[in-house]
Amino acid sequence: MLNYWGVQYWEDLIERAKRGGLNSIETYVFWNGHEPVQGMYYFEGDYDLVKFIKLIHKHKMYAIVRFGPFIQAEWNHGGLPFWLREVPGIVFRSDNEPFKHHMKKFVTLIVEKLKAENLFASQGGPIIVSQIENEYNTIQLAFREKGESYIQWAAKTALNFNIGIPWVMCKQKDAPDPVINSCNGRHCGDTFPGPNKPNKPYLWTENWTAQYRVFGDPISQRSAEDLAYSVIRWFSKNGTLVNYYMYYGGTNYNRTSAAFVSTRYYDEAPLDEYGLPREPKYGHLKDAHRAINLCKRALFLGTPSVEKLGHGLEARVWQQPGTSTCAAFLANNDTTAPATVHFKGGEYYLPPNSISVLPDCKTMVYSSHMITAQHNARNVVRSKVTNKIEWKMYKEALPSQFTNKAPEPLEFYHLTKDTTDYVWYSTSFVLGERDLPFKKGARPIVRIASEGHGVYVFVNGEYVGSGHGSKIEKNFVFQKDANFVAAKNTIHLLSYTVGLQDSGAYMERRYAGPRSITILGLNTGTLDITGIGWQTLVGIDGEMKEIYTKKGAKSVKWVAATGDKNPITWYQGYFDAPEGNYPVAIKMNGMGKGMVWINGRSIGRYWMSYLSALKQPTQSEYVPYPQGVPEANKEPGGSIRGRGRRPQGHRDRSGR
C-alpha cells in the first residue's frame, strides 16, 4: 500500500515498489482530504487521485482502491471529514439516513470520477479490486440490527455502481454476496477461516509489515523472515492476493495523524519513510516474490494436496494432473527446532518456523528463513551547512481577549472543528485570607480532569505545569500546587489534542477538553470552579498570524533565542539546503512538544518530552522531504515551534 501523499515522489516510489517485485498498488481514498468543507472538493496536489492511478497504469501495474469512505488507517478521524459530525441526527457507519446519504454521495463522486477516466479494469484501466467500508465487523455489534442492515446496504450500494470489478470488505466474515470477505493481520495463512463462499478467492488486504508508531511507545519491528514466511504460506494455502500494509511507510505530515499516532508513521516498511529500501526486508521479499512467480503455472492450473512429513512438518503440493507442472512448499512450523525431511526422493533442510519453495517440486530456490539480501543501516551525519543556524524566538503572551463565554468549559472538538490542536480556556475568582492555607509554605492545588488529550496550566500568569493522556487512555487528571493569592486569581488552560480518533463505534460522540476544575487544599474546603464561567479562544497567536510563513513572520517581534521555559514559544532559523543529495532529517533533541514547518509547510507534530518505557522519545527525527530537498525548495527559511533547547539541523544517509 502507498498513500498518495507527496506528489513529486509518486513515480519514484511506484518504480521502487515494482522493482521490489510488486505488481499492484493499493491505496485508500481520503474523504476529509477531498471534501474538507462540505460541498467543496479538492483533487489537486497531494490529493490528485486520478494522477496517482494513472501513474500506476503507466508503470504497467494494477491498482486496488479502498473507497471506504471510512478508512481508519491511523489517519485523522478515520478519513471522515469533521463537518460530517455536525450533520443533524447523524450516526456514523450505521443504518442512519443522514450518514448513508453523504456516504453514497461521496463514493458516487469518486466512482464517477474514476470511471470518466476509464480507470477500471472493465474499461481497460488498472483498477482490479475496490473496497467498500473497512473492518466493520469490529464495531457491528454496537449497532445491533442497524449494523446488519447497514452492511447489507453498503454492499448493495457498491454493486449498483456496475463498475465490472470485484468489491471486497476486509475483516467482514458475513460479507453479502458477491462481495468478497478478506483478511487483515500478520499470519492470515493460519488465522483466516477463508471466504464465506467457495466461489470467492482468498484475499489478504493488509499484511502488517511492522506496527504503526504511537507517541509514548517504543519502536515495533517485524523480522524479514517472519514476513516472508507469512507471504509464502498464504500462497501455498490457496492465497490469491496479498497486500502489504504498509509497503512504503511514509510520513503523516501536518495534522493528518490520528490520535497519538506519531508523525513517522510506518518507518519499518520495506521502503522506509525516506523512500529508501530497508534491507534486508525489501530484498528478502523481492526474492520471495520471484519464487512465487516461478510457481504461478502450477498454482493456476494445479490441484493442491498436503503431505505430512513429521511433527509440524508438511509439504503443500500443487500438481497439474497428467503433466509435469508441479510446485511444492515445504514448511517447518516448529518455532524452535530445525529438521531434515525427505520429499520426492530429495533431502531438504528446513530451519525452524520456515517455508521453502520448490517451483518444480525438486529444486529449492527460496527459504523464508535464509536471507541472501544485504543488510543496511542508516547513518546520521551532521550537516556542516545547516548546523550554523542563528535561532530567534517569539514567546506568546497569555491571551486577554476571548471569543466565547459559557458557564462551563465548552467542548473542545465543537470549538476547533479540527482546524487546530489548541484551545485556550480562562476564568477568574476571588480568594480571601481565610481561604488560603495557614501553614507556612503550603499552597493550594489546582486539579483538572480532562477528556484529553493534554493541557498546559497557568495560574496568575505563572506556568504551573502540564499533563496528558495516552493512546490507550486519553482521559487524565492534572494535579499540582500553585501560587494562589488572597485576591483575584486567574487561571489559563491551554488544552490540546494530538489528532482525532480514527476508529470505534459512535465516533461522532467522542469528546475532548477539560470537564472538571477544582482547587484543593483550601481552609474552606474544595472549591469547584467548573461552573463559574469560562472564556475560550480557539488556536494560538502564532497559528492565527501564520508566523511560520515569510509574510506572517513579519507580524511579530523575534528576539535572540534563550533557554526560556515558556511552553508557548516559537523558534525560527534560516539555513541553506544541506550539502549533497541525501535524504534530510531535522533532529529535534532537546525540544518538548510542538510542530515543525519548513518553508511554510508543516512536516508534522513532534513530542520529544513524551518518553517510552525505554526512556526515549518515540520519534526524534523529522523528514522535510522523502528524497531530500528538491531544487525548487532550496530557498533558505523555516520556523520551528516547541519548548526546550534549539534543535540541530541534520541530514540522514542510508547505506549498506
Q: Is 135 a catalytic residue?
A: yes
CATH pick for 397-539 out of 3.40.1160.10, 3.40.47.10, 3.20.20.100, 2.60.120.260? 2.60.120.260
Tell me phi and psi for residue 67, to 5 degrees: -65, -35
Contact assessment for residue 106 and residue 41, using Cβ atoms and an 8 Å cutoff: no
Choose among 68, 26, 28, 71: nearest CA to 244: 26
| 15: annotated active-site residue | no
Q: How is residue 348 written as a grid cell? A: 531438504
- Give the pLDDT confidence score for residue 154 in this predicted structure: 98
C-alpha pair distances (Å), 446 with each of 79, 381, 479: 37, 45, 6
Cα gap 317→339, rounded to integer Å? 19
Whose cell is 463537518? That residue is: 83
Are the beta carbons of 175 and 181 closer than 8 angstroms?
yes
Q: Which architecture characterizes domain 7-290 according to CATH? A: Alpha-Beta Barrel (3.20)
- Phi and psi dihedrals of 496, rounded to 5? -145, 155
List C-alpha distances in Å: 583 to 380, 573, 596.
Answer: 10, 20, 17
Look over the chain and give the mean of its residue pLDDT values, rounded to a whole number. Answer: 92
Annotate 90-131 with DSSP letters as a single string. --TTSS-HHHHHHHHHHHHHHHHHHHHTT-BGGGTSSEEEEE
Cis previous bond, 178, omega within 30: yes
Pick the catalytic residue from 26, 74, 135, 268: 135
Question: 7-290 with 397-539: one CATH topology?
Answer: no
Catalytic residue among 74, 133, 206, 279: 206
CA nearest neighbour of 197 among 164, 220, 174: 174
Among residues 420, 317, 309, 407, the alpha carbon closest in space to that of 361 is found at 317
Q: Where are the alpha helices (DSSP H) in 172-221?
A: 188-191
pLDDT in tens, 623-650: 876 543 333 333 333 333 333 333 333 2
For residue 7, the model assigns a pLDDT of: 83
144-151: long-range contacts, CB 8 A cutoff, minimum separation 24: 145/95, 146/94, 146/95, 146/96, 147/94, 147/95, 149/95, 150/93, 150/94, 150/95, 150/96, 150/100, 151/175, 151/176
Q: Are 102 and 80 in contact (CB under 8 A)?
A: no
Q: Where are the domains of the chain?
A: 7-290, 304-367, 379-394+544-655, 397-539
Tens digits of residue pLDDT in 257-268: 999 999 998 999
State the pLDDT confidence band at 652, using cuts at 50, 70 and 90. Answer: very low
* pLDDT one-digit tens code per residue, 411-436: 999 999 999 999 999 999 999 999 99
Q: For residue 582, what pLDDT is reported?
A: 80
The rounded Cα 201 to chain-centroid distance in angstroms is: 29
Provide the pLDDT confidence category of residue 250 given band limits of 50, 70 and 90.
confident
